[in-house]
């Protein structure tokens, strides 16, 4: 299951993570965010132990959202070794996300 992350623990959980990380920037009122939510949850199960998957509520955590220039949600950012390696905005299919993770994170 995707874990919640906040402004206060973002650096510890995401930037300092030994595993690659996918962060879903979302809000409860966002229809497209709710549409992509189940995909994020499925990926968190499939990639357990290989990468960490977090969700961050942009309304409750404006600092991190501003730091990464989040202007539209849902936005997903992929981090590896503390560095942003890709950013995707809008609803993404599970197949597309898996392809991007394979290429950008796992080098497949």
Alpha carbon of 50 to those of 9, 34, 68, 80, 105: distances in Å? 20, 25, 24, 12, 10
Judge whether 30 counts as a catalytic residue.
Answer: yes
Contact between residue 51 and residue 21 where contact means Cβ atoms under 8 Å apart:
yes
The structure tokens listed for 107 are: 């080098």
Is residue 44 helix, strand or coil?
helix
Catalytic residue among 14, 33, 101, 105: 33
Which residues have a catalytic role annotated? Answer: 30, 33
């Amino acid at each position: 299951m995707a874990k919640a992350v906040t402004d206060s623990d973002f650096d510890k959980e995401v930037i300092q993570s030994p595993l690659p990380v996918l962060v879903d920037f979302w809000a409860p009122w966002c229809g497209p965010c709710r549409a992509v939510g189940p995909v994020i949850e499925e990926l968190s199960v499939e990639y357990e132990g290989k990468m960490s998957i977090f969700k961050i509520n942009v309304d409750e955590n404006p600092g991190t959202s501003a730091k990464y220039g989040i202007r539209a949600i849902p936005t997903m950012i992929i981090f590896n070794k503390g560095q942003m390696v890709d950013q995707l905005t809008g609803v993404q299919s599970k197949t597309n996300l898996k392809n991007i993770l394979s290429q950008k994170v796992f080098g497949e």
